[in-house]
Amino acid sequence: MNLRRLGKVLHVSKTGSIILRTQKIPGIGTSVVDKSLDRIGTVSDVFGPVTHPYVAVSPANNVDTDRLVNRVLYLYEG
């Protein structure tokens, strides 16, 4: 199991995606978790400048996305 900081949630888009800013580009489809290792969703898109890209996360069905704003999320690679 490898846990890597993805970034802090900036907002939730109109389509329901969780938007974060990160420093390293994650792989599409990588699992995203919170500090308790609860599954939040998967990386669905990376966009913006290469040096500090934005990441869109498609949330899992049971996730209350509004409570995630300003929280740090992590990549779960394992």
Contact 12, 65 (CB under 8 A): yes
Binned at pLDDT 50, 70 and 90, residue 19 comes out as very high
Percentage of residues of the chain with pLDDT beyond 70: 99
**CA-CA distance, 63 to 40, in Å (whole number)?**
6
* Residue range 62-76: mean pLDDT, rounded: 96
**Domains, in order of start, for the chain:** 2-77 (2.40.10.230)
Measure the CA angle with vertex 2, ends 70 and 58; round to 5°: 45
Query: Residues 25-52: pLDDT tens digits?
Result: 999 999 999 999 999 999 999 999 999 9
Please check the confidence at residue 1 and state whether its pLDDT lies above 80: no
**CA-CA distance, 73 to 61, in Å (whole number)?**
17
**CA-CA distance, 31 to 53, in Å (whole number)?**
18
What pLDDT is stored for residue 37 in this prediction?
94
What pLDDT is stored for residue 77 in this prediction?
82
